[in-house]
Chain A
Amino acid sequence: MSSQPKFTRRQALKLMGITSVSAYLAACAPPTEMADSGDSEMPAGEKKKISISHIGGGSVEASEKSHRMMLLRSSFPDIEFENRWVSYAAYLDKIPVQIASGDLADLQFCNAFNDIPLMMENEVIIETGPLLEQFGQNILAVTPEAAWASTVYDGRQVAVTHNIYDLNIWCSQYRGDWLEALGMGIPETIDEYGEVLRAFSNSDPDGNGEDDTYGRLLYNSVRFDDDFFHAFGVAVGHHLNGFWRQRDGRLELDWVQPGMKDALAWMSSVWADGGFHPDSISIPLGQKDNAFRAGIAGNVYTAWSAVDFAQNQIRTVAPEATVVAGPAPEGPGGRGYTGEGWPWCFVIPITAEHPEDCVRVIDWFFTPDIAAQILCEGVLGVTNKGLNENGWCVEFTPEEKAAMGDEWTQKQNEVQDINVFWGLWLTIGTLGGVQPFPTFPPDMKAHFDGMLEAKYSEESLAAQVISQEYLRLTEKPRPVQADKEYWPGLQTRFGEFISQAVAGTIDIDQGWSEWLDFFEKNGGPLLTEQVNEI
């Protein structure tokens, strides 16, 4: 021990001093320039700064690794982007706090129906209409007219909608093999629908001799089962967002129409006969499709693009399974599937220093050459084929994915942290969720049309047609003043009532009277009045 050199207090102090000075110098040093950042010509400190809030990627690190983000950074060497990624789950809690604290990104992702009223009330966002006219020609060229309605306040355009990415994609899907085994066809009417659900639950459609199948697993709070309701001329509106229609020249909320009570009574009768999975309503959110995909339930109301995925999932437990989409069941009130419209958008807060550049950045995504690079599903060169000789991305076909077997799984695992919306979910979704742009040159459009055709099975594409054919949209274009104070209370009370009514834990007649009374006394008439003033 004595042979080892002694480490004296003086040496220790010296070492601490050197460490502190080094740390100080390191902290003061300018940041190292990235070799491939493409901005080597720009002197440090002259870049414009733009922060982007978005929900793509499994983490901010994953988002940074995505092709979309890297392409964005390299295409705007004069701009320093601050990536303010947030998970979708966290976004819901974070956005109200962001609004209340004013901590909004320069390009702030938000929900037009839920968040813009609050932003307008607090006067935290700017008008975007003139900027779009000047810098957003690509966006304007591809966005359907109807998509803008939710972002107009007092005659002013205050947000850039999530453009072509719509949520008008829902339809009812069935286990085709179960229908065949039971000798039943795809239901056309609401009564046939009820019989199918009962038979799926009670007639052993999988033929295993056990009572282990169900018609359908309802969504939490029955907030996503509008295919039943439309048959009675009403709808809940996905996520309890409400559904308004013209009645006698006035917009009225479906929730207080007599058809609503009839729809609930019908659903309650199916529930009583065991047509719905008994865990329906009370299980946590997000389980809606799982019972179908696990081969337990025979019917689901979901996106048309999920047909192939669901079929593949079910085939892991039932190799002969088939999934088919059906028309909206017809009833005394008509038929339909709810569309969610264009709920997502970007706003620019008053604190943004470069609003014109913010619009320029969004518009850039819609430039055909750029869109052609990022429109494909998958991570460039890993879970898709990368860019072809024209610089357009190419997806693997389902057959190619199947042929890869374990290699495909390996590729997916490799980029699983990026693959949530492919790293930067801004204005553009992915092929299928969006269609090839009308502004694409003919050869580019043909490329993506062909890929879209190869991407989905015939059943899926038939489902897409069905979802469009029976599409119904609420006629209330945007929130009104009274929404903030009264709508949440009405949502909670109505969600409670319909859940209990369907499951038969309350008397529907009594519950209906109480609900109407609640609506009358808790802002319902004022809300209706204001909606009609829009």
Chain B
Amino acid sequence: MATSAVSKSTAISGRRRSFWAQFVFNLWTYRYLYLMLVLPFVFFIIFRFYPMWGNIIAFKKYQLMRGIWGSQWVGFQHFNTLFDDPAFLRVLRNTVSIAFFKLVFTFPAPIILALFINEIRHMAYKRFVQTVVYVPHFLSWVIYGAILYIVLSPANGIVNNIAASLGMEKVAFFQKPGYFQPIVIISSLLKETGWAAIIYLATISTIDLTLYEAAIIDGANRWQLMRYVTLPGLAMTIVTLFILQIGFFLNVGFEQIFILQNNMVLMTADVIETFIYRVGIRQARFDFTTAAGLFNGLVGMVLVLLADRLAKRLDLPGIF
């Protein structure tokens, strides 16, 4: 109905509208759609854009009684302190390392899982598999972390018990810095892969079935169907999600890391988010950690822009 209205208006007028006239016309024509947009728009204004104003305390010595504007400007002092702080450099290194390995392992995993689930022909079994892989997502990291502690305990954890029964040495996984990041990656994979696969399964279900039929007539086997029909059908979703995930590159998951870390493994477990929590919230150094958060956000933004440009260069759809 709305489309026909636009065609009609264009046909009748036969002349070009000014930008604002077209804008108002569209606003009225699609008023119900825009109405639906109001709440999310207000949400973003209040909770996303308005707080950005507070970022200026990254350049001030923030004092409560003087307020944000009244506090003294200190330029890039907090950034200098941040990059001179050996703890922050370690934090940055850990964050990049965890983020990189999470991207490498946890991004493709749901795509592969979705492709495999899609190949299951027995419907009851398919539903069973889907349910089993979704369930961990619904456990909070607190519960999941506790399960990991129990499973990996050197005293009586099942992993160590099996290792001991095979004549191997017991390992205190949560006391060795070298094990921390692999535990984070693997636990993320186990917990979230199934849930993340949903979006790919939904996309697969929208692929035109005639493409499969045509490919089968051309003699394609199941592997080739997956390779030449399903994967290209997923390409746009994959690129979009990849670019979005890149934007959160340095957000490696506060809850998970915070719950799993301890002082024994801090050298590989301290990340920007836990650093901000520890220093910013617990020690109330809001100006200093706003600088850290701003840095985090800027890195994310640059990475998104780069990924978008890269995608367009490769003739893949970007997000802008």
Contacts and interface: CB of A to CB of B under 8 A. Distances in A.
Contacts, number: 88
B154 A279 contact: yes
Given A97-B281, A99-B284, A278-B155, A496 B266 contact: yes
Interface residues of A, number: 34
Contact of A496 (B170, B263, B281): B263
Contacts of A284: 145-146, 149, 259
B64 A282 contact: no
A330 B10 CA distance: 95
Interface string B61-86: 01111000000000000000000010
Contact of B264 (A101, A489, A505): A505
Interface in A486-531: 488-489, 492-493, 495-496, 499-500, 503, 505
Contacts of A281: 175, 262-264
B64 A122 contact: yes
A277 interface: yes
Interface in B241-299: 259, 262-267, 278-279, 281-286
Contacts of B161: none
A124 interface: yes
Contacts of A433: none
A503 B278 CA distance: 24
Contact of A279 (B62, B87, B155, B267): B155
Contacts of A268: none
Contacts of B267: 496
A182 B43 CA distance: 67
A92 B278 CA distance: 11
Contact of A100 (B149, B155, B284): B284
A464 interface: no
Given A484-B283, A488-B278, A220 B262 contact: yes
A282 B65 contact: no
A283 interface: yes
B279 A488 contact: yes
Interface in B135-166: 145-146, 149, 153-155
A492 B149 contact: no
Contacts of A96: 281-284
Contact of A282 (B87, B146, B262, B286): B262
A102 B262 CA distance: 32
Contacts of B279: 488
Contacts of B264: 281-282, 496, 499-500, 503, 505
Given A281-B263, A496-B263, A100 B64 contact: yes
A484 B154 CA distance: 37
Interface in B7-40: none
Contacts of B177: 505
A221 interface: yes
A505 B176 contact: yes
B202 interface: no
Given A96-B281, A499-B264, 9 more contacts: A96-B282, A102-B64, A278-B154, A278-B170, A281-B264, A282-B175, A488-B279, A496-B267, A500-B264
Q: Give the 4 A-B residue pairs with the shortest CB-CB distance, closest first.
A: A96-B284, A282-B174, A278-B154, A499-B263
Interface of B: 62-65, 85, 87, 145-146, 149, 153-155, 170, 172, 174-177, 259, 262-267, 278-279, 281-286
25 contacts: A93-B282, A96-B282, A99-B284, A100-B64, A100-B286, A101-B64, A102-B65, A118-B284, A122-B63, A124-B65, A220-B262, A220-B263, A278-B153, A278-B172, A281-B175, A281-B264, A282-B175, A282-B265, A283-B262, A484-B283, A493-B87, A496-B263, A503-B172, A503-B175, A505-B264
